[in-house]
Amino acid sequence: MLLLASQSPRRQELLRQIGIDYQVISAAIDETPRLHEAPLAYVQRIAKDKAQAAQMQHDATQYPILTADTTVTFQDMILGKPKDYADFERMMTALSGNTHQVLSAIALRWQDQLIEKISISHVTFARLPEHFIESYWQTGEPCDKAGGYAVQGIMARYIQKIEGSYSGIMGLPLFELSEALDNIGYNIG
């Protein structure tokens, strides 16, 4: 069993997909990017800070604690969850017809060990029709997603190319997670 410090239904779905039992726990931290913080440093810091917060609140001696953070970046800018439609429209206009990065960091804390892994993927969008941007927002799907979209959702029809980890783009890179679990001797089965 793992303690998953994330409320993300996508991360929970991915753990179930590979047969890992988990219990959801909380690990609230301030996720505001620091001034001039590079996207890669940001996503790694957030995953690590969540792991430290979770360990302080929960027993990490019996079960490993898993945390993750995913961010979308374009031209070295972090594209978080859209604040409103104008923010979402700005993101989609920038990403339309372009390639962006999705960075997913994990931190696995167990006893005195902290294993950190990173997945970097590249996603290319086709040109997004203006009517699609507005109708996609109306579905509600983009509201709680980094970069304003879900790779496994409605946006899939405009994803022209993916290089990297599909599960990492969803929010939990399973290959890197498996490596981290191997590092601490955790048997998935």
Beta bridge partners of 92: none
Number of domain units in the chain = 1
Q: Has residue 106 got a pLDDT over 80?
A: yes
The strand pairing partners of 77, in sequence order, are 74
Q: Catalytic residue positions?
A: 69
Give the domain range for residue 75: 2-184
Q: Quick check: is 53 in a domain?
A: yes
Assigned token pair, 143: 């509201």
DSSP 8-state symbol, 187: -
Query: Is the confidence at residue 58, as pLDDT, over 90?
Result: no
Residue 108 lies in a domain: yes
Q: For residue 124, what are its two tokens?
A: 């290319």
| 170 domain residue, yes or no | yes
- In a domain, residue 55? The reply is yes
Q: What is the largest CA-CA distance in the chain?
A: 52
The CATH number of the domain holding residue 150 is 3.90.950.10
Task: Name the pTM for this structure.
Answer: 0.94
pLDDT at 165 over 80: yes
> Does residue 189 form part of some domain?
no
User: Are residues 104 and 67 in contact, defined by beta-carbon separation less than 8 angstroms?
Assistant: no
For 19-51, the pLDDT digits (tens) are 999 999 998 899 999 999 999 999 999 999 999
Within a domain: residue 22?
yes
Residue 60: its pLDDT value, please? 65
Residue 161 lies in a domain: yes
